[in-house]
A and B are shown apart, each in its own frame.
Chain A
C-alpha cells in the first residue's frame, strides 16, 4: 500500500487575509453595470451586516451572494480578478505567508480553504502557488448569477466529515497533516488534524486553542 502523504490546510480568511468574504460581495455589488443597480445591490448587501456582526458569517455571506443575483458571469470573473489584485494580493498577512513557507519546507500538500468565490481567491492561490484551492463557486443561469452557491459549498464551518472524505480521496494522512485557522468556526478543521495551529485567532478560538494546547501564532 502506498504511503499516505501529509497536507497543510490553510484557511484563507483570517490566516492569510484580514478582509471578510462579505466585503467581496459588497465590492462586486458596488461595481454592477448600471449605477441604479449598484445602489440596489449595495442596499441588499447591507442587510447582511447584522448577521456579520452577530457572528453568523455563513448567513451574512449567503445574503451577500444573493445580492449579486443577475450579475453576469463575465463581470464576476473579470472584477473578481481585479478585486484580488487591488485589495488582496498586496495585503497577504506576513505571518500567514510564513506558515505557508513552513508547510512547504515540510513538503506538505498546500491546500487553501476559503468561503470566498473562485474568481477572487484563485489569484491568491496562484500567488502563493497552492497545490489546491477549496472554495465556493457562484451558480449561474442564462440571466447571470442566481445568487446561490454551487454544490459542494465551502462554508465558514468546514465539517470534519468533508475533510476526512477529502483526505481519503487524495491519500492524505490527517494525523501527519497541519491546519491553520483563525476563528471559532475553524475548530472542526483544526481538531481533525494532527498538527493544528491557531493563527491570529479570535477570542473563541483562542480559548479553544488554550484548552486543547494548540499552538497560537499572533499577527505581526
Chain B
C-alpha cells in the first residue's frame, strides 16, 4: 500500500506543532498528502495567545507553510481549516489537561499519535525538562492508552546513547545506563526530583541546573536534555498498554528542499558551532575523523511519515534512528573545512572580514595542558580591564599637565574598558558554548545506524520515492553545507545568536482562522 493510500482519511494527533520538526512535518503532510483526514494539534495556551491563535499565526506567517500558501492562495484558510483542528492542552497535566468530552471525541477517531513536544535546551532547569520531556511523554502515553487505536510515535534523540562510542544500533537497553551499570529509570527520576526539591535547590534555579548536570553525568549522559529524553524512552518502553515506536533524530538542521532550501528555525546544534567557526574563533575543539551526524529537517519529516505509515500498516515498532553517519557520514574535519569554504563563498563580493576569509578554521583536539585557552583569555581580559580602570599614571605629573591630559586619558580608559568588557563577555559566551557542545563536537566517535528507515524507504513505490524517501545516502554534503546549510544558518539562525530577529512572511490574506475543536469533531463524526 502506498503512503498516500495509507494516510488517506486518517486522523492524527500531534503534539509540539509550534516546534521546528513537527511544524515541518505538518507542512509536508498537508502538502504531499492532502487526502489526510484530520490532524488534531495539542498546543499549550500562553499568557499572550491561546493555542488556536498561536497556530493560526504560524499557518499565516511561518515560512514552513509558504509552499502551501503559494499552492492554495486564497483557499489556504479553507484547506487548512478542513484538515487541522486545535485543542488547548497542557502536557504536564493528567490526560494532557483535556476535558472528558474532548478525550471521548478523540478516543474513537484518532488513528495515530505523534509526540514531538519537548524541551530541547541542553542544560535547562531539570524540573522543567522533566515536566516537558518525561511527564509530558507519560501523560501522552496515558491518553493514547485510553484510545481505541493505541499507536504512539515518540520523538526522542540519537544522543540518548550517552557517553559511549562506536556503532549505535537501533535498540534500547532499558536496564543499563551508558556506563553499562544497572539502571532503573523510575528510581533515577525520583532521585533527580528529590535532589531538586531539597531546600538548597528548590528556590535556586542555578543550583538545580548543576544538579541536573551532575545526575546526567553520573548516569553517563552528556547533559540534562539527553538524560531526560532517555528516561522518557525507558519509561514508555515498559508500557504494555500502547503500541510504541521511538524515533531518534540526530542533529536536525536546515531544510534540503522543503519548505525551501536552507530554512531553519531557532538555534540548533550546528548553528552555534557554525557561528563560532565563522567568527574570529578559529580552532573548534573536535576530532577530524569523528562523524558529525546532521540530517536536514525535511528528511526527518520524511522519516516520520514513513514510520507513521508503517505503523498504521502494523509494520513498525521499536526504535528508529534518523541519522546520517551510518549511511552517508560527514566527518567533523570535513564539516569545518566546508564551513570555512562556505564563508569564503559567501564573502566573494569582498564583504566580511578579509582576515577571516583567508584564515580557515580547523579542528583542534582538546589539550588539557594547553596554556592558551578561552578561559585564560577571558581572565586576561578581565584582569586587563581592572588594570586599565584603576591605573592613574597621570597622577605622577604636575597639576597643570594633569588637568590638560586627564579628559583625554579618561576617555581612552573608558573606551578601552568598554572594549575589554565586550571581549570578556564574548569569550565567556564562547567558553559556555564550547562546554555545552564539546560532547557532540569532540568527545565521542558515534556512528548511528539508520537501517530500519532505509528499509522502509526501499519499499516505497517509485512514484512516491521523490516525496517520501529518507534518501540521506544521496545527499551531496559539499553542496548542502556550502549552498544550503551555511546560507540558511546565516539568514535564519545567526541573527538569533547575536540577539536579533529573523523575518516572517507577510501575513497570508485572508488570515487562517481555525474553528473550535468541538465544531470540527462533530463534523468528523
Tell me the A residues contacting B by CB distance below 8 Å.
31, 33-35, 72-75, 77-79, 82, 85-86
Contact = CB atoms under 8 A, between A and B. Distances in A.
A35 B359 contact: yes
Contact of A74 (B341, B348, B358): B341
A196 to B, nearest CB: 39
Contacts of A77: 478
Contacts of B348: 82, 85-86
Measured as residues with beta carbon below 8 angstroms from the partner, the interface class of chain B is: 10 to 19
Contact of A33 (B340, B345, B478, B482): B340
Nearest to A72: B337
B482 A78 contact: yes
Contacts of B358: 31
Contacts of B341: 74-75, 78-79
Contacts of A78: 341, 344-345, 478, 482
Contacts of A72: 334, 337
Contact of B362 (A31, A33, A82, A86): A33
A75 B342 CA distance: 10
Interface string B43-72: 000000000000000000000000000000
A207 B213 CA distance: 81
Contacts of A86: 348
14 contacts: A33-B337, A34-B362, A72-B334, A74-B341, A74-B478, A75-B337, A77-B478, A78-B341, A78-B344, A78-B482, A82-B344, A82-B345, A82-B348, A86-B348
A73 B477 CA distance: 12
CB-based closest 3 A-B pairs = A78-B341, A33-B360, A74-B478
Given A33-B360, A33-B362, A34-B360, A74 B337 contact: yes
Contacts of A74: 334, 337-338, 341, 478
Nearest to A86: B348
Interface in B325-350: 334, 337-338, 340-341, 344-345, 348
A172 B102 CA distance: 77
B282 to A, nearest CB: 10
Contacts of A33: 337, 340, 360, 362
Contacts of B360: 33-34
A75 B481 CA distance: 13
Contacts of B344: 78-79, 82
Given A72-B334, A74-B478, 4 more contacts: A74-B334, A74-B338, A75-B337, A78-B344
A85 B349 CA distance: 11
A6 B59 CA distance: 59
Most buried by A among B338, B341, B345: B341
Contacts of B359: 35
Nearest to A85: B348
A74 B482 CA distance: 10
Nearest to A32: B360
A89 to B, nearest CB: 12
B288 to A, nearest CB: 11
A112 to B, nearest CB: 24
A77 B478 CA distance: 9
Interface in B349-388: 358-360, 362
